[in-house]
């Protein structure tokens, strides 16, 4: 596990982007996202520190379609340009070539062009993701404005041991292509992760029907450290929501109810 430091502060402003991904059309998707962000962030009051995009936001969850890109491919270049243009960290997952397979890589791209990443650890068995994708091994924590961020990708949400807060993060983010058929699980687990880890949780999901005819209803949302919803995007709509997180509110809650001090010690192999 590595912690990557950034500037300090007490507030974090996040734009959560929920959109309908056009199957296997990265240029069309990035062009649409650029227009959506330009419009959404045009007002000064909508300036943000972090922009979250869904899992495989440029291609759809097409692990068996040969759409992975090289390590410095065009989708990553678009993320770098987007971060510079918006003057915010931009994060979302991209299928990236890695030897004979690929990785489902959560990119964390800063306005100065710095690129960091987390590779999805838990691969979706029902979608045969493991046949085409190598599982990531390293747990990552990124830091922005004094907030420590644990990045997760879709199916990771079902595995609480990997996500257990070891007093090393303040916000869990999960970017996903979570299907409508299991939407209740998505809603429930986002809330549960916030409560059990005493952290903010941000879920960023897609909408629309993909090339495998799997429907996605969205459910992008933000929960506070008590599991209470502080933002919920409308179902089945492309939209951008703004979330304002306050560090001292989280710290005050943890100090008043320090359950984390009684957590079990453990190590992951």
Q: Classify residue 152: in a domain, yes or no.
A: yes
CA–CA gap between residue 170 and residue 143 (Å, rounded): 9
Predicted pLDDT of residue 8: 45
Average pLDDT, the chain: 95
Q: Does residue 150 have a pLDDT over 70?
A: yes
pLDDT in tens, 3-35: 344 444 599 999 999 999 999 999 999 999 999
CATH number where 111 lies: 3.60.110.10
Q: Classify residue 265: in a domain, yes or no.
A: no
Predicted pLDDT of residue 9: 54
Determine the longest span between alpha carbons in the chain, in angstroms.
51
Give the residue numbers spanning the domain of 46.
Answer: 2-259
Predicted pLDDT of residue 4: 41
Contact 201, 223 (CB under 8 A): yes
Q: Classify residue 83: in a domain, yes or no.
A: yes
pLDDT in tens, 185-218: 999 999 999 999 999 999 999 999 999 999 999 9
Left if phi > 0, otherwise alpha if psi is -120 to 50, otherwise beta: which for 7? Answer: beta
Identify the CA nearest to 1 among candidates 105, 156, 136: 136
Percent of the chain with pLDDT over 70: 97
Predicted pLDDT of residue 49: 98
Identify the active-site residue in 120, 129, 199, 247: 120
Q: Classify residue 268: in a domain, yes or no.
A: no
What are phi and psi for residue 214, nearest 5 degrees? -95, 125
Is 199 catalytic? The answer is no
Those residues whose C-beta lies under 8 Å from the C-beta of residue 179, and which sit 6 or more positions away, are: 214, 215, 216
Instruction: Give the pTM.
Output: 0.96
pLDDT band at 266 (very low <50, low <70, confident <90, very high): confident
Identify the active-site residue in 69, 82, 110, 154: 154
More reliable by pLDDT, 174 or 260: 174
Percent of the chain with pLDDT over 90: 94
Identify the CA nearest to 3 among candidates 118, 95, 120, 158: 118
Element (H, E) at 28: helix 26-40
Identify the CA nearest to 94 among candidates 111, 117, 65: 117
Q: Classify residue 55: in a domain, yes or no.
A: yes
Is 55 catalytic? The answer is yes
Q: Classify residue 267: in a domain, yes or no.
A: no
Predicted pLDDT of residue 268: 80
pLDDT in tens, 62-87: 999 999 999 999 999 999 999 999 99
Average pLDDT over residues 238-248: 98
Tally of structural domains, the chain? 1
Q: Does residue 2 have a pLDDT over 80?
A: no
Is 196 catalytic? The answer is no
Identify the CA nearest to 57 among candidates 166, 176, 157: 176
Contact 41, 86 (CB under 8 A): yes
pLDDT band at 228 (very low <50, low <70, confident <90, very high): very high
Average pLDDT over residues 163-185: 97
Identify the active-site residue in 55, 110, 129, 247: 55
Predicted pLDDT of residue 88: 98
Predicted pLDDT of residue 1: 42
């Amino acid at each position: 596990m590595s912690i990557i430091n950034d500037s300090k502060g007490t507030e974090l402003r996040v734009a959560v982007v929920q959109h309908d991904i056009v199957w296997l059309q990265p240029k069309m998707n990035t062009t649409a996202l650029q227009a959506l962000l330009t419009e959404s962030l045009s007002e000064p009051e909508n300036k943000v520190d972090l922009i979250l995009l869904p899992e495989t936001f440029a291609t759809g969850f097409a692990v068996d379609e040969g759409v992975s890109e090289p390590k410095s491919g065009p989708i990553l270049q678009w993320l770098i340009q987007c971060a510079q243009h918006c003057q915010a960290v931009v994060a979302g997952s991209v299928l990236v070539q890695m030897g004979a397979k690929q990785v489902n890589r959560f990119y964390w791209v800063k306005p100065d062009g710095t690129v960091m990443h987390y590779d999805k650890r838990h691969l979706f068995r029902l979608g045969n993701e493991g046949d085409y994708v190598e599982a990531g091994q390293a747990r990552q924590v990124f830091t922005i404005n004094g907030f420590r961020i644990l990045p997760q990708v879709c199916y990771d949400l079902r595995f609480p041991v990997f996500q257990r807060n070891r007093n090393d993060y303040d916000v869990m983010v999960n970017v996903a292509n979570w299907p409508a058929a299991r939407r209740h699980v998505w809603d429930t687990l986002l809330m549960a992760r916030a409560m059990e880890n005493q952290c903010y949780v941000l879920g960023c999901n897609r909408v629309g029907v993909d090339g495998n005819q799997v429907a996605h209803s969205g459910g992008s949302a933000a929960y506070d450290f008590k599991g209470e919803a502080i933002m919920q995007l409308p179902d089945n709509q492309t939209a951008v929501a703004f979330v304002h997180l306050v560090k001292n509110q989280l710290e005050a809650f943890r100090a008043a109810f320090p359950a984390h001090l009684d957590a079990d010690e453990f190590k992951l192999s």
